[in-house]
Structure 1
Amino acid sequence: MASILKYAGKYRRHIFTALALISISVPIGVVPYFLISGLIGKYISEAAAMADVVRTSALILICFTAKYILYGEGLNLSHEGAFGTLYNMRVKLADELMHQPLGEVADGGTGKYKKSFVEEIGRIELMLAHMLPEGIPNLVMPFIVLAVIFVTDWRMGLLSLASLPFGIIGMGIMMKSGMKKMPLYYESGAKLNNAVVEYVSGMEVIKIFGQTTSSFKKYSDTVENYKVFTLDWFRESWRSMSLVYAGMPCTVLLTLPVGAIMYYNGTLDLNTWIFVLMLDLSMSGPLTRVINFFPMFPQVDYTVKQLEALYSAEDVHSGNISELPESYDVEFKNVTFAYKDRDVLKNVSFKAEQGKKTALVGESGSGKSTAARLTVHYWDVSDGSITIDGRDIREYTFDTLMSMTAYVAQDNFLFRGTIADNLRMGKKDATMDEMIAAAKAAACHDFISKLPHGYDTEVGVLGGKLSGGERQRITIARAILKNAPIIILDEATAYTDAENEELITNALNELTKGRTVIMIAHRLWTIADADNIVVLESGRASANGTHDELMESSSIYRRLWQMSLEAGNWNIAVKEDSENV
Structure 2
Amino acid sequence: MVQSMKRLFGYASEYRGKMMLAVLLAMGSVAAGIFPYFAIQQFVVEMISPEAAESSLLLLALAIGGALCLKSLLFGMSTTESHQAAFRILRTIRLELAGKLTRLPLGYVLDRDSGALKKVMENDVEELERFLAHNIPETISSAVVPLAVLLYLFFVDWRLTLSFLVCIPFALFFYWLMMRDSRTKMANYHRSVETMNAVVVEYIDGMKEIKAFNQTEDSFARFREGINSYRRYVLEWYQSAWPLMSAYFVLIQATTVSVLPAGLYFLAKGSLQLPEFVLFLLISLSFAAPLVKLAEFADGIILIVNAEQNVHAMLAETELKRAAGSPSLAGHDIVFDKVSFAYDQEKVLHNLSFTAPAARRTAIIGPSGSGKSTIAKLICRFWDVKEGQITIGGVDIRDLPTQVLMDLVSFVFQDTFLFNISLGDNIRIGKPEATDEEVREAAQKARCHEFIMKTSQGYDTPAGDGGSHLSGGERQRICIARAILKNAPILILDEATASIDPDSEEQIQEALGVLAQGKTLIVIAHRIRTVMDFEQIIVLGNGEIDAGGTHGELLQSSSVYRSIFAAYAETENWRISTEGGMF
Q: TM class, shorter-chain normalised?
A: over 0.9
Deviation of 1:561 after TM superposition, in Å, equals 1.4
Provide the rounded CA distance (Å) in 2 between the counterparts of 1:99 and 1:305: 20
Deviation of 1:255 after TM superposition, in Å, equals 0.6
Deviation of 1:576 after TM superposition, in Å, equals 7.9
Letter in 1 for 2:251: G
Alignment of 1:318-467 (within 5 A): 318-322=322-326, 325-467=329-471
Give the structure-1-normalised TM-score.
Answer: 0.95
Whether 1:211 aligns to 2:215 is: yes
Partner of residue 259 from structure 1, selected from 256, 260, 263: 263
Deviation of 1:465 after TM superposition, in Å, equals 1.0
What corresponds to 2:482 in structure 1?
Answer: 478
Structure 1 pair 4–513 and aligned structure 2 pair: CA distance change class (3 A): farther
Q: Is the 2:33–2:67 contact (alpha carbons within 8 Å) kept by the matching residues of 1?
A: yes
Give the structure-2-normalised TM-score.
Answer: 0.95
Query: Secondary structure of 1:343's match?
Result: strand
Q: Is the 2:409–2:491 contact (alpha carbons within 8 Å) kept by the matching residues of 1?
A: yes
Question: What stretches of structure 1 of length at least 5 have no aligned partner?
Answer: none
What corresponds to 1:27 in structure 2?
Answer: 31
Provide the rounded CA distance (Å) in 1 between the counterparts of 2:391 and 2:224: 48
What corresponds to 2:245 in structure 1?
Answer: 241
Q: Is the 1:8–1:84 contact (alpha carbons within 8 Å) kept by the matching residues of 2?
A: no
Structure 1 pair 318–210 and aligned structure 2 pair: CA distance change class (3 A): same
Deviation of 1:67 after TM superposition, in Å, equals 2.3
1:178-199 CA-partner distances (Å, limit 9, x unpaired): 2221111101110110101111
Deviation of 1:2 after TM superposition, in Å, equals 3.5
1:116-166 CA-partner distances (Å, limit 9, x unpaired): 222111111111111211121012222111111111111111111123124
Provide the rounded CA distance (Å) in 2 between the counterparts of 1:391 and 1:22: 59
What corresponds to 1:495 in structure 2?
Answer: 499
What corresponds to 2:45 in structure 1?
Answer: 41
Q: Is the 1:323–1:400 contact (alpha carbons within 8 Å) kept by the matching residues of 2?
A: no
Alignment of 1:552-563 (within 5 A): 552-563=556-567
What corresponds to 1:541 in structure 2?
Answer: 545
Provide the rounded CA distance (Å) in 2 between the counterparts of 1:354 and 1:13: 58
Runs of 4+ in 1 over 6 A off after TM superposition: 575-580
Whether 1:55 aligns to 2:59 is: yes
Q: Is the 2:116–2:198 contact (alpha carbons within 8 Å) kept by the matching residues of 1?
A: yes
What corresponds to 1:269 in structure 2?
Answer: 273
Whether 1:66 aligns to 2:70 is: yes
What corresponds to 1:279 in structure 2?
Answer: 283
What corresponds to 2:117 in structure 1?
Answer: 113
Q: Is the 2:410–2:486 contact (alpha carbons within 8 Å) kept by the matching residues of 1?
A: yes
Provide the rounded CA distance (Å) in 1 between the counterparts of 2:288 and 2:338: 71
Question: What stretches of structure 2 of length at least 5 have no aligned partner?
Answer: none
Provide the rounded CA distance (Å) in 2 between the counterparts of 1:167 and 1:378: 55
Partner of residue 127 from structure 1, selected from 110, 131, 145: 131
Provide the rounded CA distance (Å) in 2 between the counterparts of 1:259 and 1:86: 50
What corresponds to 1:163 in structure 2?
Answer: 167
Provide the rounded CA distance (Å) in 1 between the counterparts of 2:115 and 2:97: 15
Q: Is the 1:213–1:220 contact (alpha carbons within 8 Å) kept by the matching residues of 2?
A: no
Deviation of 1:506 after TM superposition, in Å, equals 1.4
Whether 1:566 aligns to 2:567 is: no
Letter in 1 for 2:69: T
Q: Is the 1:37–1:278 contact (alpha carbons within 8 Å) kept by the matching residues of 2?
A: yes
Alignment of 1:171-186 (within 5 A): 171-186=175-190
Q: Is the 2:46–2:57 contact (alpha carbons within 8 Å) kept by the matching residues of 1?
A: no
Q: Is the 1:35–1:56 contact (alpha carbons within 8 Å) kept by the matching residues of 2?
A: yes
Provide the rounded CA distance (Å) in 2 between the counterparts of 1:400 and 1:323: 9
What corresponds to 1:297 in structure 2?
Answer: 301
Query: Secondary structure of 1:536's match?
Result: strand
Instruction: Give aligned pairs, total.
Output: 578
CA RMSD of aligned residues (A): 2.0
Q: Is the 2:329–2:394 contact (alpha carbons within 8 Å) kept by the matching residues of 1?
A: no
Provide the rounded CA distance (Å) in 2 between the counterparts of 1:194 and 1:67: 44
